[in-house]
Amino acid sequence: MTQNCDIVISGGGIAGLTAAAAFGSAGFKVICVDPAPPITDGAAEGADLRSTAMLQPARALLERAGLWEALAPHAAPLQIMRIIDAGGEEPEARVIREFDAADISEQPFGWNFPNWLLRREMVARLDSLDTVDFRPGVGTKSVFTRTTGAKVTLSDGTRVSAPLVIAADGRNSPVRQAAGIAVKSRRYGQKAVVFAVTHPIPHENVSTEVHRTGGPFTLVPLPDRDGLPCSAVVWMDDGAQAEARMELDVPAFEEAASRRSCFHFGPLTLVSARQIWPIITQHAERIAGERVALIAEAAHVLPPIGAQGLNMSLADIATLLDLAEARREGLGDADMLEAYHRARHGDITLRVNGIDLLNRASQASAPVLRDARAAGLNALYSAAPVRRMLMQMGLGTR
């Protein structure tokens, strides 16, 4: 027996859950599947300890999806983006520049959330929607498409018929592969160690990137923990060095992290487990195929710089939702998916290339290249129109 719905979403990560909430809230009948049930407790084994900065444009989509009201009490506002160049002989700040959201908006740049908390609130939202059938522990086994619709076979043997399949199933997306869509990848030899810390000096809602070599050391504000200021950290570096740091005992790791942060917020105290992630750039040659739309890491993977990754994913969802609502009778047809590709592909390409350049600059090890990076930061910051334009581009409002 075949089940019917409007949209099958393959993948129940943050992007897939957001898409399910957004399309379900708009009245579409959605089945969302993921082979790995979401972990919604930050203390549970396997919890995603990373954090995500939802930039200004994301709020409108979260409101449409019925998610913002539940998330708002947990938001850590990002009012200032601070960039520190510490590329001199000693690991200490030599150039500090701050990009203030007040220069371009009455709102902060965005709001930071722990990833496990996002999953918790998103799963709760899906539970409240009669239009969404979320099936954790079930994956997509096969996808067969034709001009009139798609047939999806799930890992539990269920068959589903739908006019549109959304691939939110990660960088190795089985749905993308079934659609025959190729990807282009770049590797940097980097890995990122992610963890949370407390520190004695308040972060004052400032997201801070410290550049020296190997990649940025980024501290993103989180709500206070046990009465102390708290930040999520992404420490990018050469893969071998990142692996070695995973083996350090806690005091040695805290000392190394504090030094790499230039003690900007004082000594750092580890308050979470450490996780490690490979750093790559990848983007699909097309983000749509027959009856298939790619979003999130199925469409693009970026180094964690400038909070672009998930916010590009949310832009994918918002664009696809607008097109779906405008042509419900033609949901998933060739015209709709071609319009989706045209609307998103250029922006994705621009941001993929821009983040690639920034990451390569952050890896610089030669003193002359680090000096050039510091000079470039000064030049960009000193020209007020350029500074405002860069902030608007980073938000996706220009």
Same domain membership, residue 139 and residue 96 = no
- Long-range own/partner contacts, residues 40-43 (CB < 8 A, 24 or more apart): 40/116, 40/117, 40/119, 40/120, 40/123, 41/116, 41/120, 42/114, 42/116, 42/117, 42/272
Same domain, 81 and 48: no
In the structure, what pLDDT confidence band is assigned to residue 386 with cuts at 50, 70 and 90? very low
Clarify whether residues 177 and 197 are in a common domain: no
What's the domain count of the chain? Answer: 2
* Residue range 86-121, pLDDT digits in tens: 877 777 777 788 878 777 778 888 888 888 899 999
Of 137-141, 202-206, 248-252, the range with the lowest mean pLDDT is 202-206
Residues 275 and 196 in one domain: yes
| CATH number of 80's domain | 3.30.9.10
Token digits for 211? Answer: 């550049």
Report pLDDT for 357. 79
Asked whether residue 142 falls in the same domain as residue 256, the answer is no
Please give the average per-residue pLDDT across 341-364, as a whole number.
83
**Residue 61 within a domain:** no
- From CA 380, how far away is CA 202, in angstroms rounded? 27
Residues 257 and 223 in one domain: yes
| pLDDT mean over 217-245 | 92
Residue with the larger pLDDT of the pair 361 and 364: 361
Whether residue 43 sits in one domain with residue 127: yes
pTM across the whole model: 0.86
Residues 144 and 271 grouped into a single domain: no
Place of tokens 């801070």: 208
Domain region containing 296: 2-55+120-185+282-359
In a domain, 67, yes or no: no
Same domain, 274 and 371: yes
